[in-house]
Amino acid sequence: MNLRMIFTALGPIDLRNIRRDSLLPWMVAMPLAFAVLLRWGVPALTENLLAQNNFDLRPYYPVISAYFIVGMPALVLATLIGFLLLDEKDDATMTALQVTPLSLNTYVAYRVAVPALLTIVLMFLMFPVVNLEVLSWGAILLIGIASAATAPMFALYLAALAQNKVQGFALVKLSGFVTLLPVLAFFVEPGWDLLFGVIPTYWPMKVYWTLSAGEAGAGLYALVGVVYQSLVAGVFIRRFYQMLHR
């Protein structure tokens, strides 16, 4: 079976499973809800701070966008898919796949492709909705590709290290701050900010800041980020397969 057939067959089932869960639909809507809030809230806050405290928030718009647009959507979507993988592991769905025409590798590829593709779609929706700065469609696509690599990595991280959703929530809380910590790199001197590169989620933000500032090197940073996050995802997928075959 190819991925197109898998999307057609499993997509409607996933949508039903998400609708039945009390939490997952909210997770799907969260990034766009934040985008709407930011569109109206940030300009109002900027005017208020400027009038009352003579503080201009506009130079820090890239920090806000890096957190809410570049970083958060991929992690939210990855958490959703990670929880679906945990449910399927508990229900022995992965074991049942071994006697079907659908291979485990293809199924996992479908699972991680979904949040990656949705992350790119969200980039094209959220940047225009938030409207804090104007970026070209090509720039948004490059940011989306760099950020999309985060989704499979984080989804596999949850599936590989958590035994159930309770542990999954604990891992999300534990790692949520660390994965979004690279926003602090914005305040670090150029060059030294690369030290944050050990955290995989730094690279999509670096791509965004480079494009936002009109500087060169965004394509290289995107390539490094995709390769690095793919290697980390490879570690987690091996761990995930080991758990399935115990």
83 vs 21, 80, 165, CA distance in Å?
A: 11, 5, 6
Q: What pLDDT score was predicted for residue 246?
A: 64
Q: What pLDDT score was predicted for residue 219?
A: 96
Mean pLDDT of the chain: 86
Q: How many CB atoms lie within 10 A of CB 107?
A: 18
Q: What pLDDT score was predicted for residue 178?
A: 81
For residue 11, pLDDT over 80 is answered with no
Q: What digits encode the pLDDT tens for the residues 199-228?
A: 999 999 999 999 999 999 999 999 999 999
Q: Which domain covers residue 41, as residue numbers?
A: 3-244
DSSP string covering 118-165: HHHHHHHHHHHHH-SS---HHHHHHHHHHHHTHHHHHHHHHHHH-SSH
pLDDT tier, 243 (very low <50, low <70, confident <90, very high otherwise): confident
- Quote the radius of gyration of the chain (alpha carbons, Å): 19
The answer to which of 13-17, 53-57, 193-197, 205-209 has the lowest mean pLDDT is 13-17
The answer to which of 41-50, 73-82, 89-98 has the lowest mean pLDDT is 89-98
The answer to which of 17-21, 113-117, 170-174 has the lowest mean pLDDT is 17-21
**DSSP assignment, residue 23?**
S
Tell me, rounded to whole angstroms, the distance of Cα 113 from its chain centroid. Answer: 12
Q: What pLDDT score was predicted for residue 9?
A: 63
What counts of helices (H) and strands (E) characterise the chain?
11, 0
Q: What pLDDT score was predicted for residue 223?
A: 97
The answer to which of 122-136, 149-163, 164-178, 200-214 has the lowest mean pLDDT is 164-178
Number of structural domains the chain divides into: 1
The answer to which of 35-49, 106-120, 213-227 has the lowest mean pLDDT is 106-120
